[in-house]
Chain A
Amino acid sequence: MTTTHVLTVVLDDRLLTLNAAVGLLRRRNIPVRSVTLGPHVTEGRSRLSAMIETDPAAAKRVALLFEKLIGVEEARVMPAGQAVLRELALVHLRPPPDGYAELLDVLNLYHATVVEEGNDGLVVEISGPDTFVLSCLRAIERFGIHDVTRSGPVAVERAEQVSPTPSSEVPVR
């Protein structure tokens, strides 16, 4: 059965390796919802997170295919429910003068932070699960969004649970 899987790959930070990795995803004809790349804790390596829609066996095979790539150190795949997923959005807003106070209230509700204020508006940082970020974006839309950059979800496998219930998806500050 097709479900969302999270693929995390540790690879060297050469663009050529990234090119090969993205090419592998493209070629296997599997729907890809997102691809995110960032530095790994080890210098010279990157970490790629991808959300793919496929069945568990094909997802496992994708991870094995990644491990065959020269330049890939490790590839893991897990159902989306077994990963902690977070996304960052930076939003440039141009609220009307009379909407400023209300906007700050909404941002507060979403634990969003104003990271910069200028003459032509303000830049806000929102982070959390992708649905949470989307919800926040919808809530502040009416205040006049000038530009948005979303990171796409980054993922890490869940810590072993004390109780069988997964932790809340609400971001912890």
Chain B
Amino acid sequence: MTPGRPDALTPDTVTGAQLMCHLLEEQGVRTIFGYPGGAIMPFYHALPEFPELRHILVRHEQAAAHAADGYARATGRAGVCVATSGPGATNLVTGLATAYMDNSPVVAITGQVPRPMMGKDAFQETDIVGVALPITKWATVVEDISDLADVMRKAFVVAQEGRPGPVLVDVPKDVQNQKVAWTPGRPDAQSNVTEQPSVRASERQGVRTAAELIASAERPLILAGHGIILSGAADELMRFAEQTGIPVITTLLGISCFPEGHPLHLGMPGMHGEVHVNRAIQRADLLIAVGMRFDDRVTGNTAGFARHAKIIHIELDATEIGKNIRVDVPIVADARTALTALTALTAPRHCADWRTEIDSMRRPPDESFKGGIAPEVILRAIHDASGGRCNVVADVGQHQMWVAKHFPYRRLNTHFSSGGLGSMGFAVPAAIGVHVARPDEPVWAISGDGGFQMNMQEIATMVQERLPIKLAIFNNGYLGMVRQWQQFFHGRRYSATPIWSPDYVKLAEAYGIAGYRVEKAGQIGAAVDAALAYDGPALVEFVIEQEANVYPMIPPGATLSEIIESEPAPEPAPA
């Protein structure tokens, strides 16, 4: 249905929909990612009156949520997505869950059926607030126009303060049409996101104890996570590491918080972490974990994780302390303030013997791609083509691990990945958000052939909105990571993992973008250069070895000491 235009309004009277737009502007929002529909039509009716609000029409609401997430990760400010009730709202769910697991501040606004119809299984009615409760920091419905401003403002505060995360605000259609007095201006209830000035008194003893442990440790390690990026603590981490000489391990979401190639940088830990990184963890006598949560993909079997190490855990969210791993010294604090305080209490040292020992554990690079189209060569080419200025958005699977391990990240917060939820289909739409946040920098979305086909419809969004995003597809004809597990742990029974792809060059042509296929190693550089130089979105398909594997690998449920470094002998499939 088409709503009638609102009645002629007095200057200080607006509709709920207009108020929503005013409030978005008030919060500094410039871009929203969305898709219209019946219950959100009043909002879309008002939107053209607010030309400062750029709306990016996605092709599926999941992409709106991922794009808002990508924008939030790149800027540190809330990304906004909008959808209608029912299927529009439920399509946001994967994106919200992704943002929730990775602590990305997203504000989702959904239309809802009019209040008199709620609870009557009306057309396109879904209890999206009930659906969203466990995957958001806060989900709420606006029950009356008088609550709308407070709820919207609070949504931005909740999404961005402390440990960030998504918030969902459900606005019934009749509330969007209600009228209310409105005085523009920045109210007192503005976002009160403030930096914690110093470590709280209750945590100071922890900082002192941590400093003593750091002074006496022989084999210390820093485990740096997403919290470094979220709290803006990269400089503090660098100062702390360089002062103490302690090697730095970066978790999947911590990647790019500390420059690759720095003498103290070791790499990624865990299931697909480098051998020397996992061995170092198992040898360490002290772990200083900062802004990370000991995910099971990092720890493996916790019973055998870092048995010789005392653990200092610096974490903003007290509920993470001791959740997965015993902690000897908890410090509940923002990473930046805690590292500043810790650096002030630690004397310079070098850890030279320990670093030499770790270096001796290093393995030569993976040779499984010798002579073929090696991921590291592709990633090096992507890096070099932009002089290292590009942003890399990974999808989920084998290529995600190659992107994590082989791209030389030297610039802060330039690696984006769905870590906690592991959402295939993330890269292409999230890259839209990253590009909107950083329009002057190249953005590459790197996907497998599986994940790319989950959200490849968003090429149309890029074309319509003139977003010159570069798309790389690592095509091996399989759902590669699942196939690898089947090879290693299920007797090579490749059940439902072979996957057909369309002709991606023709697909590119159909969308009117540039498309290239790379089948030989010698073509990599030219294709990457051409895609980057093309004035618009461009796609490069890399036809890689079909049964390439990600090494090393810790089998699920095993400890970090049980490393698979090459193809294991086939095992019979489990009964």
| A interface residues, Cβ below 8 angstroms from B | 16, 19-20, 23, 27, 57, 61, 64-65, 68, 70
B141 touching A16, Cβ below 8 Å = yes
Quick check: B318 and A64 within 8 Å, CB to CB? yes
A16-B129, A23-B133 known; A65 vs B138 contact (CB < 8 Å): no
B residues apposed to A, CB below 8 Å: 129-130, 133-134, 137-141, 154, 158, 317-319, 321-323
What is the minimal beta-carbon distance from A45 to any residue of chain B, in angstroms?
17
Q: Which residues of B contact A20 (CB under 8 A)?
A: 133, 139
Of A19, A23, A68, A70, the contact of B319 (CB 8 Å cutoff):
A68
Q: Beyond A23-B134, A27-B134, is A61–B140 a contact (Cβ under 8 Å)?
A: no
Contact B322 A61 (CB under 8 A): yes
Residues on A with beta carbons closer than 8 Å to the beta carbon of B322: 57, 61
> Which A residues lie within 8 Å of B154 (CB)?
70
> 4 closest A-B pairs (Cβ-Cβ)?
A70-B138, A64-B319, A64-B318, A65-B319
What 19 new A-B contacts, CB under 8 Å, besides A16-B140, A27-B134, A65-B319?
A16-B129, A16-B139, A16-B141, A19-B130, A19-B133, A20-B133, A23-B133, A57-B322, A61-B321, A61-B323, A64-B318, A64-B319, A68-B137, A68-B319, A70-B137, A70-B138, A70-B140, A70-B154, A70-B158
Which residues on B sit within 8 Å (CB–CB) of A68?
137, 317, 319
In Å, the complex CA distance between A20 and B137 comes to: 10
B293 to chain A, nearest CB (A): 13
In the bound complex, residues from chain A placing their C-beta under 8 Å from that of B323 are 61
A-B contact pairs, 23 of them (CB 8 A): A16-B129, A16-B139, A16-B140, A19-B133, A20-B133, A20-B139, A23-B133, A27-B134, A57-B322, A61-B319, A61-B322, A61-B323, A64-B318, A64-B319, A65-B319, A68-B137, A68-B317, A68-B319, A70-B137, A70-B138, A70-B140, A70-B154, A70-B158
CB neighbours of B140 from chain A (8 A): 16, 70
Number of A-B contacts (CB under 8 A): 27
Closest A residue, CB atoms, query B129: A16
Q: Give Cα A20–Cα B130 distance, bound, in whole angstroms.
A: 8
Chain B's closest residue to A63 (CB) is: B319
Once the chains are docked, how many angstroms separate the CA of A55 from the CA of B322?
A: 12
Residue of B nearest to A61 (CB): B319
**Whose C-beta in chain B lies nearest to the C-beta of A68?**
B319
Residue of A nearest to B323 (CB): A61
- CA A27 – CA B135 in complex, angstroms? 11
In this complex, which of B134, B319, B321, B323 has the most chain A Cβ atoms within 10 angstroms of its Cβ?
B319
Chain B minimum-CB-distance residue to A22: B133
* A-chain residues with CB within 8 Å of residue B133 when the two chains form the complex: 19-20, 23
- Smallest Cβ distance from A68 to chain B, in angstroms? 7
Chain A residues within 8 Å of B138, by CB: 70
Q: Which residues of A contact B141 (CB under 8 A)?
A: 16
A115 to chain B, nearest CB (A): 35
Q: Which chain B residues lie closer than 8 Å to A16 at the CB level? A: 129, 139-141
Bound Cα distance from A67 to B442, whole angstroms? 42
CB-nearest residue of chain B to A62 = B319
Q: Give chain A residues whose Cβ lies under 8 Å from the Cβ of B139.
A: 16, 20
> Smallest CB–CB gap between B556 and chain A, Å?
19
Q: Which residue of A lies closest to B321 (CB)?
A: A61
